Structure 1
Amino acid sequence: LHKSSRVFWRDLHAVSGFWISFFTLFLLISGLPWTKSWGGMLKEIRQVQTVSTHANAQAQSQDWTTGGVAPGSVAVGGVSAGDHAGHADHTMAEHTQHQTADYRLLDHLVATVTPLQLAAPVLIAPPSEKAANWTARSDAQNRPLRVNISFDADGNISSRKNFADRPWLDRVIGLGVAIHEGQLFGWLNQALGALTALGLILLCVSGVVLWWKRLTKTSLLHTLGAPPGSRQRLPYAWAMIAMVLVLGVLLPFFGLSLLLVLVIERCLMPYFPVLASYLGLHTTAP
């Protein structure tokens, strides 16, 4: 605080970046189940785990995405009744079963489920190919509060599955998703998410300020203002390189973007020395 403004902005950028990186990394990891590559891989692992540990694999449906009331659903007494929420790809057979379901049970099921005080919203669904009887489930964003209930033909509760009854992979992912969405531990969870977002904004702003302070020593027409590359041996350099390589393998598109930048810098930029100098790159003529 008692040194130059450039040192202030540099330290603000570096220190805040160090601490915010942990929260950002968690948001990145907890969001991987939603991605195509990681989500597909985790889905296959989960299927293998479910088949090997549960005799009835269909009873343990995947619960990785946020659910909602399906189109055409009806809210009854604070409890939503509708088509199987979360299963938008109904087949014709499912629709036929829904049409022949005894909907006279609905009022009885609502009266049975309401006193249980499940976390809202609660979705009640008629029989389908995925469930032979009526079902009810809590679709709360705080996933550890979710409950799945099955009823028999007479509308009585036949089974109840809480979050703790789900496979360990579902529980780990469910906790990560709940924290990612700011739902696990109330306002503090949301405050941490907001702090992370504000920290990332601070990094962007402080980076631009540092760039501008560096640029004032020269002209934007002569250089983009990139910091000069260090020629000295930096501590922990190999640890940083190893970490980047691991992330490049675990995150395919991140790895591809790194390879693209590397190819452009090493293979193309030597043929454009003026542009390379403007960007602050140290290249060797081909």
Structure 2
Amino acid sequence: MTSTVHRQPQGDEPQSATPEPAATGRSWQGVRALLVRMHFYAGVFVAPFLFVAALTGLLYTLAPQLDQLVYGDKLTVERVGETRRPLAEQITAARSAHPEGALASVTTPSGPEDTTRVVLSVPELGDKQRTVFVDPYTAEVQGELTTWWGSTPLTTWLDDLHRNLHLGETGRLYSEIAASWLWVVVAGGLVLWLGRSRGLRARSVRGVLLPDRTARGVRRTRGRHAATGVWLAIALFFLSATGLTWSQYAGERFGQLLDAAKGRAPELDTLLPGATPPAEDEHAGHGGHGGAADGAGEADADPAGFDAALRVARQAGLGGTVDIAPPADASSAWVVAQGDDVWPVHYDQVAVDVEKGEATARARWADYPLLAKLSKLGVQGHMGVLFGVVNQIVLAAVAVGLMLMILWGYRMWWQRRPTRSDRSAPFGKAPARGAWRRLPLPVLIVGVPAVVALGWALPLLGVTLLGFVVVDIAVGLVHRRRTT
């Protein structure tokens, strides 16, 4: 005769979906029950998006090293010299080897072993550019690449993989869903883990930060899953927030917030003193690599002007690597912008009148509004360039940790499956529905408008959450009819 053991839920394990428990009145336990159910469904259905985002993000963190491995002969010089050649000489060498397109900008080396980048605007490349790499010590051309905003083809490929899985604008929905739900899943998990009341260990610091080694089965898996989440929580909140700032729909809402709070970065005034402003459609201004030349039919700026603009910028205090763009038209100044991403960052810009040899305007990083600074630094940290290799290591560790958390979450789902011969199932059942009926009235009064506002700020979160609710209601109605 075989005995059957009915396993009781342990700690914060979700309850079985059937049979549904009767309502026990409104209490704060209803909040916990709702969090358990939402955390479960988000973990099951949103976790694949998070896993893909973590995996592709992990690959992207390796981009600088992969670039050196693949394009090292173009990005770095064979031998570091003592004196760099004038930019005019390097530009002339680049244009002799690549006369196509028009000269858009020049980026000075960021380190003694790096090459100078001469960026050309070639119409047939669309929004991409052709970058020619020149040895600053010998003015010899070391090669060229098709770049996108300064990124190599490999980095661009990895960036597209992480952002949209190479599916264009439609593919961006996956990454925005992941970023929209990441903070929700993490916050819900923290509340459940910190709010459990099973024994003294659960309420101790060690019990929160470390899994219980004596636990077995689903309790051991849950401990690893939750403790890892506690350690990574701040980093995951950061990645979620920064990822949303340049997402498709939530990013638009964030832009509206910046406009309302006057948190945009100050624009550099490139109009020369006394000059007449051009019509709005004559040029779009300096955009990093746009420069003056958008077509092959326009004449290049005088290469000597780049040396003159650089000299004025250095006198104005702009150190490190800089991007120099020629004027867009006769009424505009040259633009020299710092590009030091490693902390402490340097993002000052100056407009230069080359003929007079003076700076006509300046946009200082110190003058950026707080929101603009946080947005800029957040993006750089998300991309792994803010603190150099340390930033890459931290992001890689977070990505691996997130993937492990997801795998442990699915393992818990499998471990909680019914194993009796008369009630076997491949996975555990969802937590019982109807938890919202037990929510305290203050929670409903405050929570419903808050969820609506959140759905407006994060549209994909709102749409997917509404989808979960509709499907859950439909499944509940079908189940109730079958039971009846």
User: 1:148 aligned to 331, 335, 349, which one?
Assistant: 349
Structure with higher Rg: it is 2
Check 1:46–1:259 CA distance in 2 against 1; reply closer, same or farther (3 A cut).
closer
Distance 2:256 2:454 in 1: 21
Distance 1:118 1:36 in 2: 35
Q: Report sequence identity in percent.
A: 24
Contact 1:151/1:158 (CA < 8 Å) preserved in 2? yes
User: 1:200 aligned to 402, 423, 427, which one?
Assistant: 402
Contact 1:105/1:155 (CA < 8 Å) preserved in 2? no
More helix, by proportion: 1
Deviations 1:220-271 (A, max 9, x none): x96341345258989x977799499364443111110111121122125644
Matches within 5 A, 1:103-182: 103-113=303-313, 118-120=319-321, 122-128=322-328, 132-142=332-342, 144-152=345-353, 153-182=355-384
161-170 vs 242-251, greater mean Cα deviation? 242-251
* Higher-RCO chain (CA-CA 8 Å, sequence separation at least 6): 2
Match status 1:59 vs 2:268: yes
Distance 1:242 1:130 in 2: 57
What is the letter of the counterpart of residue 184 of structure 1? L
Secondary structure of the 1:196 match is: helix
Cα RMSD over matched residues?
4.3
**What stretches of structure 1 of length at least 5 have no aligned partner?**
62-82, 272-282
Contact 2:310/2:336 (CA < 8 Å) preserved in 1? no
Distance 1:187 1:60 in 2: 35
Which residue in 1 is equivalent to 2:177?
A: none
User: 1:262 aligned to 456, 466, 469, which one?
Assistant: 469
Match status 1:251 vs 2:452: no
Distance 2:331 2:396 in 1: 40
Secondary structure of the 1:124 match is: strand
Deviations 1:116-161 (A, max 9, x none): 56343x2111112698111111233348321212112323333433
Matches within 5 A, 1:28-67: 28-47=240-259, 58-59=267-268
TM-score normalised over the length of structure 1 = 0.66
Check 1:125–1:23 CA distance in 2 against 1; reply closer, same or farther (3 A cut).
same
Contact 1:6/1:210 (CA < 8 Å) preserved in 2? yes
TM-score normalised over the length of structure 2 = 0.42
Distance 2:312 2:351 in 1: 12
Secondary structure of the 1:285 match is: helix
What is the letter of the counterpart of residue 263 of structure 1? V
Contact 1:118/1:147 (CA < 8 Å) preserved in 2? no
Distance 2:234 2:365 in 1: 27
* Matched length: 246
Distance 1:222 1:130 in 2: 78
**What stretches of structure 2 of length at least 5 have no aligned partner?**
1-212, 271-284
What is the letter of the counterpart of residue 105 of structure 1? G
